[in-house]
Amino acid sequence: MSPSEPAIQVAGFTKRYGKRLAADGLALTVQRGEIYGLVGADGAGKSSLMKAIAGVLSFDGGTVDVFGSRIDSARAAEKVKDRIGFLPQGLGLNLYPDLSIDENVDFFGRLRLVPGRELAERKRLLLEMTRLDAFRDRPMRQLSGGMKQKLGLVCTLIHEPDLVILDEPTTGVDPVSRRDFWAILGKLLEEKGITALVSTAYLDEADRFHRVSLFHEGKVMGEGTPAELVARVPGTLALFRAEPQATALPRLKAAFPQTEAMGSWLRVFADGLDAAGARAGIDAALAGIPATDWFAREPELEDVFVAMLRQRGARLDTQLQDDDAPRPLATSQTPALAIEARDLTRVFGDFRAADAVNFSVPQGEIFGLLGANGAGKTTVIKMLTGILKPSSGSGRVAGADMRSAGLAIKERIGYMSQAFSLYHDLSVVENIRLYAGIYGLDDRQGKRRADWVIGMAGLAGFENDAAGRLPMGLRQRLALGCALVHRPQVLFLDEPTSGVDPIGRRVFWDILFHLSRNDGVAILVTTHYMSEAEHCDHLALMFAGKVVADASPEAMKAAVAREAGQLLELRVDRPAPAQAALRAAGYASAALHGRAVHLLSKDVDGDRTRLPALLASAGVAVQSVVLRPLSMEDVFVQRVTALEDAQRRTP
């Protein structure tokens, strides 16, 4: 294969599963040495294409060429398999649960015929790079989600493939592990010159790709660099406050469909308008409600992706009105407390999964419980919902003591589990009526609530489809509907949008906002999408079973800015060497973001002058240095990384 020949060339790719057309004439070209991204909803055809390129799935039409070899049979696929590493979708699905980290890596190394001495050296380097070297003897089944994915990547890379194919490698993985994952991949591309084909449900990861294909219903609706794709749908992204928010939101949505509430802020994508036009249009839509704390900037790729889907008929509205909604518990200006955790502790042997956890959630508030994989979030939810008995401490939910209330709590709460919420072999209607029966609704009430759930979740036309065959976004909205079928006062949601596409996530959060603001429902949600943490009114950050921060998103950002500095973005020609040079110079927060490096600076003006010269001495050219607002991901990573460093220094 010549150096100029593409690593992957796909033309007219077609794949059917029975009567369903999963991929319809897809075309794709991936150049050597680039990270190429596939973005799209669940069921858009991404996984089918990736499996065919990896040589593990047959297809119905078109051609697939990998390193100049036509992949048209099992024998042809065998010719290039030693040059490919494939990480399938799902946490740790390519690993063996009862084998330790060491044993899993050794197994894959021997399977790939890596000589013993090379295997030992590569394993040492990769485990150090992934920070797994201190856990070599731990069985895979005892690893957190982020650790499983990093181990999966190590096993995928152990034979030093020329091409890595990674199917949603960061879904369900906490932000620190996500950044680790991308830093490892960027370093290997820089040092080894490998090519990567990566799919993702996180649109904020698109900046890390050299080029991207946007998938929709088995077709490619856009292809290019992230900047080229953003330029295809011109417009302005506006962020501001407007009170009362519950009145402002529907007014804005009527004029600008891509409007969402983010805590106390409103976020509007005004497609086709410049900043002045966006301000005028938004002021007109608000009809007398003043917009304060205004600022506008260029849209992000997720805004463009959603706009493209809207152009193809996707809808962002849903039937939210619930005439029989529960009344809020509060009768005064101060909302009643819906959830109280007081020194909640759960011990498993020598392991403290939750350690004296304290927080409270008023009625009508959206409360986010954040933390890395294994921080203790799910354990806390299980104790508050009565599924798991605490070792010590107490809690109250919807006015009932969790230790003694039993059925009383279950009647007042809805719970959407991270692991199990639906019976996949039952139809949509059968799932709803089953949950209605479990919660004691009679046939007439069950029928009324089923009609409401179908409207709320946008499931009209899917009533008789098996739940397991629904797209992920619809499946999660059905699960939410089943948790709401009995009109609970308090709702617990454990990573409800993991793997859900952007349209599905936005509709999901519109529903949560309506439930909290209009129906007075208190909502406790865990999430790994830090953009979703911005939607919460209040947050608690957990680390090693403890609550280590408890504040609003804005207060958390302000605290990090005071303590660690403001966020600078450096656009550079060689990101990986730039990151290495910055970290060597003492900027420990330097992290890769596509063709840019982000870091926290306590001296913004000085660093704007100092950093280009520092990087020039390392052979890196700086195109721009720009001050950016801190995101919740920046806050999460800074806080958790500092805690991990302190934990490692403690004997």
Q: What is the largest CA-CA distance in the chain?
A: 75
**Sheet-wide strand order for 622-628:** 591-593, 596-601, 566-572, 622-628
Question: Quick check: 329 pLDDT over 50?
Answer: no
Does residue 532 lie within any of the structural domains? yes
Asked whether the predicted pLDDT for residue 45 surpasses 70, the reply is yes
- Alpha-carbon distance values, 389 to 124, 338, 349, 384 (Å): 41, 19, 14, 9
Check the CA dihedral 114-116-122-123 and report its sign: positive
Average pLDDT for residues 234-262, to the nearest whole number? 92
Tens-digit pLDDT profile for residues 577-596: 898 899 999 998 898 776 78
Q: If you average pLDDT over residues 211-238, what whole number do you get?
A: 91
Distance CA 192, CA 139 (A): 30
Instruction: Please name which of 347, 438, 363, 439 lies closest in space to residue 396, comparing C-alpha atoms.
Output: 363
Percent of the chain with pLDDT over 70: 94
pLDDT at 332: 42
Q: Do 88 and 20 fall within a single domain? A: yes
Specify the pLDDT at position 318. Answer: 62
Residue 285 has pLDDT above 50, yes or no: yes
Please choose, from the candidates 579, 588, 589, the residue with its C-alpha nearest in 3D space to the C-alpha of residue 615. 579
First to last CA, the chain: 53
pLDDT at site 3: 57
User: Could you tell me if 569 and 598 lie in one domain?
Assistant: yes
CB 459 within 8 A of CB 383: no
Do 560 and 588 belong together in one domain?
yes
Q: What's the full length of the chain, in residues?
A: 651
Report whether pLDDT(189) > 90: no
Which of 187, 205, 228 finishes a domain? 228
Which residues pair with residue 219 across a beta bridge? 216
- Number of neighbours of residue 394 by Cβ within 10 angstroms: 14
What's the pLDDT score for residue 331?
38
Q: Report yes or no on 521 lying in a domain.
A: yes
- What pLDDT sits at residue 525? 93
Amino acid, single-letter form, for residue 351: F
330 within some domain: no
Cα distance between residue 509 and residue 262, in whole Å: 9
pLDDT of residue 319: 58
Number of neighbouring beta carbons within 10 Å of residue 357:
26
Say whether 609 sits in a helix, a strand or coil.
helix
What six digits make up the tokens of 189? Answer: 């591309």
Q: Are 537 and 367 in contact (CB under 8 A)?
A: yes
Same domain, 17 and 42: yes
Residue 319 within any structural domain of the chain:
no
Same domain? For 506 and 545 the reply is yes
Candidate ranges 114-123, 183-192, 323-332; pick with highest mean pLDDT: 114-123
> What is the predicted pLDDT for the residue at 644?
82
| pLDDT of 142 strictly over 80 | yes
pLDDT band, residue 405 (cuts 50/70/90): low
Angstrom distances, CA of residue 155 to CA of 38, 67, 554: 22, 22, 40
Residue 253, domain extent: 234-298
| Nearest one of 322, 297, 376 to 627, comparing CA atoms | 297
Domain assignment of residue 322, yes or no: no
Average pLDDT, the chain: 87
In CATH, what number is assigned to the domain containing residue 34?
3.40.50.300
- Range of weakest confidence among 266-280, 321-335, 558-572, 632-646: 321-335
Clarify whether residues 545 and 566 are in a common domain. Answer: no
Q: What is the mean pLDDT of residues 591-619?
A: 90
Beta bridge partners of 29: 9
Same domain for 96 and 27: yes
- Partners of 428 in beta bridges: none
> Using CA of residue 463, residue 468, residue 470, residue 474, what is the dihedral sign?
positive
Strands across the sheet with 337-348, in order? 351-362, 337-348, 392-397, 400-401
Query: Which amino acid type is present at position 647?
Result: Q
CA distances from 302 to 4, 314, 510, 526 (A): 32, 14, 16, 21
> CB under 8 Å to 610, separation ≥6 — which residues?
none
Q: How many CB atoms lie within 10 A of CB 351?
A: 9
Q: Which pLDDT band, with edges at 50, 70 and 90, does 317 fall under? A: low
Residue 91 has pLDDT above 60, yes or no: yes
How many other CB atoms are found less than 10 A from the CB of residue 20?
10
Which of 123-132, 323-332, 486-495, 608-617 tops mean pLDDT?
A: 608-617
Amino acid letter, residue 231: A
Residue 99: closest CA among 91, 107, 87: 107
Based on the fold, state whether residues 574 and 517 are members of the same structural domain: no
Percent helix, strand and coil across the chain, each to the nearest 5:
40, 25, 35
Tokens of 91: 């946490």
Q: What domain count does the chain have?
A: 4
The answer to whether the CB of 131 falls within 8 A of the CB of 189 is no
Q: Which is higher by pLDDT, 331 or 5? A: 5
User: What pLDDT is stored for residue 59 in this prediction?
Assistant: 94
H helices of 143-267, where? Answer: 145-157, 175-192, 226-231, 245-255
Please tell me the distance from the alpha carbon of residue 521 to that of residue 505, in angstroms, as a whole number.
19
pLDDT band at 328 (very low <50, low <70, confident <90, very high): very low
Token pair for 397 = 């939910």
Strand partners, 235: 271
Distance CA 70, CA 9 (A): 9
Provide the 3-class DSSP secondary structure of residue 467.
helix
Question: Higher-confidence residue: 44 or 237?
Answer: 237
pLDDT of residue 529: 78
**Residue pLDDT, tens place only, 61-82:** 999 999 999 999 989 999 898 9
| Confidence band of 38 (pLDDT split at 50, 70, 90) | very high
Q: Is residue 57 part of a domain?
A: yes
Secondary structure letter of residue 139 according to DSSP: B
Is the domain of 98 the same as that of 207?
A: yes
Q: Can you give the pLDDT at residue 326? A: 47
H-run or E-run covering 357 = strand 351-362
Identify the DSSP state of 466.
B
Count of Cβ atoms closer than 10 Å to residue 646 Cβ: 10
| Res. 633 pLDDT band, cuts 50 70 90 | confident
Residue 2 included in any domain:
no
pLDDT of 420: 67
Specify whether 480 is located in the same domain as 616. Answer: no
pLDDT on residue 205: 78
Residue 155's pLDDT band (cuts 50, 70, 90)? very high
Give the pLDDT of residue 406: 64
pLDDT for the residue 503 = 78
Do 566 and 457 belong to one domain? no
Q: What is the CATH number of the domain that holds 272?
A: 3.30.70
Q: Tell me how crowded residue 246 is: count the other CB atoms within 10 A of its CB.
A: 13
Q: Is the pLDDT of residue 293 over 80?
A: yes
Q: Which of 189, 207, 228 is the last residue of a domain?
A: 228
Type of residue at 479:
A
Instruction: Give the H or E element holding residue 87.
Output: strand 84-87
Q: Does any domain span residue 280?
A: yes
Q: Order of strands, edge to edge, in the sheet holding 61-66?
A: 20-30, 8-17, 61-66, 69-70
pLDDT of res. 333: 54
The helix (H) or strand (E) run that includes residue 102 is helix 101-111
244 lies in the same domain as 376 = no
Domain boundary among 298, 321, 351: 298
Strand partners, 296: 238
